[in-house]
């Protein structure tokens, strides 16, 4: 079991290999479809001019993401009216929806870790090698258990996106995950997909 502290150094990232179990501790940011689209269109590709408020948010999240981790998560949050926020459930959401954006986000912000479920594609894998970074697979169906690793909600950005899509800043301790895409070009997801395809083709050939 690897104990990994956020911010994460390049040395630590390169020491991680697919299959390694990790416990993450430190500050991370949640972000799903709306957040990734906003970051890329407003600040990376420049297709949607940012507002003054957007620029302020950008300046505040930039140091959080530098050598940091983004979590594909749509949490259930208590204390919305009092703003005494507490994560009730914090399970991962499917990561493939962020594939068009993730590599650019990793490079722009020097993002070292991406957490989600289901893995990602070749663009993100290439960014993992370049930045360097890794993809951490969190356990699906364990939202309440994962929420127990969230010690504190430090703040929230882009609340107008809605609670699941907002960018929540959280402090975690011993957040459980497994490295399934590493900085050396290895992807457990691609490997399993390849083996599954080969097995399917063999079965179809035998049936024919």
CA distance 192 to 172: 30
Phi, psi of 116 (to 5 degrees): -175, -155
Tokens 């620029």 found at = 55
- Is 189 annotated as catalytic? no
Cβ atoms < 10 Å from Cβ of 185: 12
Q: Quick one: which of 58, 60, 59 has its CA closest to 48?
A: 58
Catalytic pick among 36, 72, 137, 189: 36
| CB of 8 closer than 8 Å to CB of 24 | no
d(CA 95, CA 203): 29
Residues noted as catalytic: 36
């Amino acid at each position: 079991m690897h104990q990994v502290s956020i911010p994460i150094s390049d040395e630590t990232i390169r020491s991680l290999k697919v299959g390694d179990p990790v416990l993450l501790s430190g500050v991370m940011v949640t972000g799903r479809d709306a957040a990734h689209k906003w970051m890329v269109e407003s600040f990376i590709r420049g297709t949607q001019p940012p507002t003054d408020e957007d620029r302020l948010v950008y300046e505040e999240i930039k140091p959080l993401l530098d050598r940091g981790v983004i979590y594909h998560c749509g949490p259930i949050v208590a204390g919305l009216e009092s703003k005494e926020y507490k994560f009730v459930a914090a399970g991962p959401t499917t990561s493939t929806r962020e594939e068009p954006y993730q590599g650019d986000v990793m490079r722009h912000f020097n993002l070292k870790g991406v957490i989600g479920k289901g893995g990602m594609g070749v663009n993100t894998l290439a960014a993992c090698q370049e930045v360097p970074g890794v993809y951490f697979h969190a356990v699906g169906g364990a939202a309440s258990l994962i929420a127990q690793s969230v010690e504190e909600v430090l703040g929230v950005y882009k609340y107008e996106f809605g609670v699941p899509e907002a960018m929540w800043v959280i402090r975690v301790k011993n957040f459980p995950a497994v490295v399934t895409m590493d900085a050396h070009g290895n992807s457990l997801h691609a490997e399993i997909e390849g083996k599954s395809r080969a097995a399917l083709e063999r079965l179809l050939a035998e049936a024919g």
